[in-house]
Every structure is written in C-alpha cells, then in structure tokens.
Amino acid sequence: MPKLDTYLFREFAQATFAALVVLMVVSLGGVFADVLRDIVSGKVPAGMMLAQLGLQLLNYLPLILPLGLMLGLLLAVGRLYRDSEMPVLTSVGIGPRRLLRPLLMLVVPVVGFIAACSLWLGPWAQNYSQQLIAEGQRSLLVAGLEAGRFVELPGGGGVVYANAMSNDGTRIGRIFIYRAQEGRLDITTALSGSLAIDGTERYLTLDDGFRVEGPVDGGRDFRLMRYASNEVRLPDAQQVADEDDPARLPTLALFGDPRPEAKAQLHARFAPPLLALAFALLAVPLARSPPRQARYGRITLGFLAYVFGMNLMLLGTDWVADGKIPAALGLWWLVLPLLGFAAWMYFGDGRVKRPAKAR
C-alpha cells in the first residue's frame, strides 16, 4: 500500500472514529432516557435495562453510522484543506479522484457493517427485544418480585411481600400488599396469587384473603372485608408488536410478503447503506474550502443534507406503507438520484474548466 494511501486512510479513520464516539454517547443518552422512562412507569422490568439498552442502540445504528461517517470525512478532508495539504497534493498531480482508494478503504467496511445492521442485526434486535418484554410481563420474578423480601411494585404502586413463589414466577403464596393513594392506605393479604394479563393491562389475582382500607393520618373510617378472589391492578404493560409485524420479520421473509407494510420495511432496510455511501461521496466536495475559511459552515451543510435525506427516507417509508407510493418504486426515487448526484459532485470536484477559445 502506498504511503499516501496509508496516511490518508489513517486521517479518515481517526476523524470518523472520533465522530462516531461522540454520536454514540449522545445517542446512548437518548436511548437510556427512553428505556428508563419505560422502567419507571412499570412497562419494562428493571432487570432488563441493560439488555434493552443494547438492543435498542443496535436498532438505531443504521441511522447513526451514516451521519458519523459523513461528519468524520468532512472533518478529515476539511483539515487537509485548512492546513494546505490538499493544495500541495493538487500541485503534484494528486486530485480528489486520487482520494477514492483510501476513501473506499474506510467507506466499504463501514457501509458493509451498516448493511448488516439494517438487514440482519437490527430486525433481530427488534424481535428479541419484543420477546424479552413479553416474557418479562408474564413473570413476576422478572418484574423484580422475590420471595421473602419486601419489594416495591413496578411503577411505584406500593410494596408487596410474598412468602413463596413458583419457579416460573407466575404464582406466589402468602402475600402482603401495602398501598397508599390520596390520603388513604390499603392493606391486602392473601394465601395465594397469580399474574393475569388482559391485553396491555396486568392484574395480580389474589385468592382467599383480607383487605383493610382507612385514612393515613388517623381517624376511624376503616373498612375490613374478607374475599375469595381479588384483583390488584399493576402498571400497564408495554404494547408488544405482533409476531407477523414486518418490523419483527427477517429480511428474507419480507421478499415474499405482499403487504405494503412489508414492502415499505424492505425498502427501509436497503436504504441506509446506500444513503451512507452517497453521504460519504458528498463529504469530499462539501469539505473543499480556502485555507482561511471556517470549515464548520460546511459541516452544518452536510448535517442538514443528512437530516433532509433521512427525513425523506422515513416519510417515504410511511408513504409506501400507506399506498401513496407504488411498492415497486419504493425508496428508489430518493436513493438513486442522491447516489447519482453524489457521484457527479465527487468526480467533478476540482476539475479545471477549459479556457474559452478566443474569437
């Protein structure tokens, strides 16, 4: 490998890695906030926090990596122009086209990884995340309840104590529940109980017990009743997508699915790697700037191009799913023109116009 290719590849890789690290930290904070909100509301068991965090982040990689690749290349090529390295290279006959080899040495593996995330890892993470949530909602053990220990109900709905619990976490024995709402306390005991699910609503069904209700700040307004069966409402479960939801199906299964939603999902999985290639090619001509010109304006322009392209991709996916765009057309109306424009911009960058003939 020529020394020039090694040097340029190292510059491109370092800047891209730095941009990806910053974007991953920012994205991790947003994903963590979403997962934590679901845990606090009781929709996702607390024990699944790390698993859900990793799976959700893996699902967002096809949207994060193209931006990181584009910003990294903009920073790297912009530095070459700022430090007058590109003019020196151009003066010895090395123009933007000569950058194609070290550029592709970085872009091809990154685009391949984006394709793997979009076509395989992302759908797998989405499906596995839904499976974990569905299993956790059917098990009190996964939800955080343990035999022989006082535990706060999911979502902060009270405190529960169970003397015994089945191995699968669906049945408990000798239960004590304390709840306080709107100035009144509610103490419930039962010999046994089980978890019941009705859609997104979850209930703790208690058998053969007593319930005492009264004021928290004193008074004699207490009520005692004995029951054969009683239900305690738990926080609503998170809505789990059906198993035939196109977002949960593998990519190969979408090819034979005639539904518009499946066709839209198929195009949405093929678009990110192609858009990443287009953004990478656009980064080189966008980074061209005079030595004393600020380079951050070009970075802003590249970021706006990314936002515009990704928003069109998301809107186009909805249009295909709603039948507003033919499934055969899909997202090709966005991907192919953008690829063509990026290639035209790249190979036309730095081209010297022929002087006009004298009359």
For helices 49-82 and 122-137, the axis angle rounded to 10 degrees is 150
Is residue 189 within 8 Å of residue 173, measured between CB atoms?
Answer: no
For helices 49-82 and 296-321, the axis angle rounded to 10 degrees is 140
pLDDT band at 148 (very low <50, low <70, confident <90, very high): confident
Burial class (CB in 10 A: 0-12, 13-18, 19+), 94: middle
Q: Is the pLDDT of residue 352 over 50?
A: no
User: Could you tell me the CA-to-CA distances from 151 to 144, 157, 182 in Å, in that order?
Assistant: 7, 11, 21
pLDDT tens track for 71-125: 999 988 888 888 777 777 777 767 667 788 889 999 999 999 999 999 999 889 8
pLDDT at 146: 66
Is residue 198 within 8 Å of residue 214, measured between CB atoms?
Answer: no
Q: How far is CA 247 from the centre of its chain?
A: 13
Calpha distance 92→86 (Å, rounded):
10
Query: Where do the structural domains in the chain lie, given as residue ranges?
Result: 3-136+257-348, 157-234
pLDDT at 280: 92
Candidates 60, 15, 13, 7; CA nearest to 299 is 15
More confident residue, 262 or 231: 262
Q: Which residue has the tokens 């020529």?
A: 2
Candidates 283, 339, 289; CA nearest to 100 is 283
Residues in the chain: 359
Is residue 229 within 8 Å of residue 205, measured between CB atoms?
Answer: yes
Q: Which residue has the tokens 């706006």?
A: 304
Is residue 234 within 8 Å of residue 202, measured between CB atoms?
Answer: yes
User: Could you tell me the CA-to-CA distances from 2 to 6, 7, 8, 11, 105 in Å, in that order?
Assistant: 6, 9, 10, 15, 13
Q: Is the pLDDT of residue 351 over 60?
A: no
Instruction: List 172's β-bridge partners, or say none.
Output: 165, 193
Candidates 175, 170, 234, 164; CA nearest to 206 is 175
3-state SS class at 156: coil
pLDDT tens track for 336-350: 999 999 999 888 765
Is residue 281 within 8 Å of residue 299, measured between CB atoms?
Answer: no
| Contacts of residue 343, Cβ cutoff 8 Å, sequence gap at least 6 | 281
Rg of the chain on CA atoms, in Å? 29
pLDDT at 358: 46
* 81: amino acid identity, one letter: Y
In the chain the beta strands, taken as DSSP E runs, fall at: 150-152, 159-165, 171-181, 184-198, 201-215, 223-234
Six-digit token string for 95? 């123009």
- The DSSP output letter for 240 is P
pLDDT tens track for 299-316: 888 889 999 999 999 999
- The DSSP output letter for 179 is E
3-state SS class at 290: coil
Q: Which residue has the tokens 């979403």?
A: 34
